[in-house]
Amino acid sequence: MRIENYFVILHAKLEKMRYFIWFSYDGTNYHGWQVQPNGITVQSELERCLSLLLRETITVTGAGRTDAGVHARQMAAHFDTDADFDAQLLTKKLNGLLHHDIAVDRIERVAPDMHARFSATSRMYHYYIHTQKNPFIQQFSQEMHYQLDFERMNEAGRILLEYDDFGAFCKAGSDVKTTICHVTHAQWHQTSPSEWYFEITANRFLRNMVRAVVGTLIEVGRGRMSLDEFRLVIEGKQRTQAGESMPAKALFLEKVAY
């Protein structure tokens, strides 16, 4: 065998394979998705458990970066490894090793150029609220203590679709290159006489964007901001002009599409 052919074969054997991991989590006890130096995160827990099971240092890249206390009903991440394993068995072992508040649905091999963050075409978030005290949903829904005009809030939601710069809803001091996002859906849905959720879909989201949007829509629903003023907030691109950021506990990343 020629020496150059030997190195080609050796490189092929050592080439890492890419896998997607699909999972959900209750973010209550985590300092968000991304690894932090002073707190446990969802990413750090996944990496810890994968590294133990695959017996190598594994780094996972997520589809997004949820903040502290935010949940995910469907999240995706990718990791690279040259380890040989059965995906179903690894899924089972991972679920046995992870805390009860993180659940892995499946692991699947993907093309080397698939990227959990950059290959995603859209993300969908839900923000849950309730208008009557309910101890069974309190942990994952925000109780509201005043009347809201949801029809007017949906009118404001439709206004969001007319714009693509959402600097007004970006957390101050965020290190982002652009505040351009393409929102394709923004609507309130009622699930019971006292329970609602806001659904918003876009190709990408800015840090704290959904909670700031919901907080501003609440101002509209309370009659404290007109639809014209809502437009001016978007066009002004100043975070200080928008409503307060809503609590994290009621926000869910619902779906990532590829």
Residues acting as catalytic residues:
67
Give the whole-angstrom CA distance, residue 125 versus residue 247.
14
The DSSP bridge pattern shows strands 183-192 and 102-110 to be: unpaired
Give the whole-angstrom CA distance, residue 46 versus residue 94.
8
76: left (phi over 0), alpha (psi -120 to 50) or beta: beta
- In sign, the C-alpha dihedral spanning 206, 208, 210, 216 is negative
112, burial (CB in 10 Å: exposed 0-12, middle 13-18, buried 19+): exposed
Question: At how many degrees (to 10) do helices 42-54 and 87-97 cross?
Answer: 120
Rg of the Cα atoms in the chain: 21
**CB-CB contact of 68 with 207 (8 Å):** no
